[in-house]
Amino acid sequence: MLKVAHLQKSFNHKVVLEDASFDVQLGQVIHISGENGSGKSTIFKIIAKIIKPDAGQVQMTEDSVIGALIENPGFLEFESGLTNLKFLAQLNKRYDENKVKQLMTDFGLNPNSNRSVAKYSLGMRQKLGIIQAIMEEQNIILLDEPTRGLDQESLAHFVQLVNQLRSDNKLVVIASHDFQAGLKYDFKYRLKDGVLRSED
């Protein structure tokens, strides 16, 4: 369960969030849309406790583990993709090398490649960012523009991955400008003028 209630956030007296609320459950896939600068990433940062809201609450069950891809994920540029994932996972000691290698392979990344992340394309970086958000059995997964730079084949794999997460009873919240063909969303929200509204 993830419940966000009446979030408010201003930056330098400019109101970005005026009232953002939603109440969603494990096993759901949620979509949040909104124009550039509407506050989508800000909501994710508040849920992931990167920043604090001025008002409002975020509640989740005690067993919640958040995985997040927000804006442009930072990596150790001169290390390989696998080394980066190993480093990120070891921060909370849930690293399972076989699982991480499998996730990379399934997404078209070679886990045995020594190519440094500095030489990764945008799409390859996105894949690494998606993998780090799901590789440790996180059950609340926040994906901010996850499909940026993904080619057709990778998009198809992304859809499959999200559907798998849903059947594994994870909650996936996707912020994006477009709806991903092949994905069924349980709830769609639109963020406009600081207010999050349910669509349909």
Ligand X SMILES: Nc1ncnc2c1ncn2[C@@H]1O[C@H](COP(=O)(O)OP(=O)(O)OP(=O)(O)O)[C@@H](O)[C@H]1O
**Interface with Mg ion by CB under 5 A: which residues?**
40-41
Give the footprint of ligand X on this chain (CB under 6 A): 11-12, 16, 34, 36-42
Q: Phi/psi of residue 81, each to 5°? A: -60, -45
Separation in Å, CA 50 to CA 47, 53, 68, 96, 180: 8, 10, 11, 26, 27
Q: How far is the CB of 145 from Mg ion (least distance, A)?
A: 7
125 binds, among Mg ion, ligand X, none (CB under 5 to 8 A by kind): none
Which C-beta is closer to Mg ion: that of 24 or that of 43?
A: 43
Which residues lie below 8 Å from residue 119, measured CB to CB, with a gap of 6+? none
Which C-beta is closer to ligand X: that of 45 or that of 166?
A: 45
38 binds, among ligand X, Mg ion, none (CB under 5 to 8 A by kind): ligand X
For 49-73, the three-class secondary structure string (H helix, E strand, C coil) is CCCCCCEEEEEECCCCCEEEECCCC
Which C-beta is closer to Mg ion: that of 23 or that of 71?
A: 71
39 binds, among ligand X, Mg ion, none (CB under 5 to 8 A by kind): ligand X
Which C-beta is closer to ligand X: that of 11 or that of 78?
A: 11
Structure tokens at 54: 């001025």
CA gap 15, 9 in Å, rounded = 6
167 binds, among ligand X, Mg ion, none (CB under 5 to 8 A by kind): none
Structure tokens at 147: 């499909």
Q: How far is the CB of 43 from Mg ion (least distance, A)?
A: 9
Which C-beta is closer to Mg ion: that of 40 or that of 125?
A: 40
CA gap 40, 194 in Å, rounded = 10
37 binds, among ligand X, Mg ion, none (CB under 5 to 8 A by kind): ligand X
Q: How far is the CB of 100 from Mg ion (least distance, A)?
A: 26
16 binds, among Mg ion, ligand X, none (CB under 5 to 8 A by kind): ligand X
Structure tokens at 159: 């859809």
**119, containing H or E segment:** none
**101, containing H or E segment:** helix 97-106
Q: How far is the CB of 164 from ligand X (least distance, A)?
A: 26
Q: What is the DSSP letter of 181?
A: T
Which C-beta is closer to Mg ion: that of 26 or that of 173?
A: 173
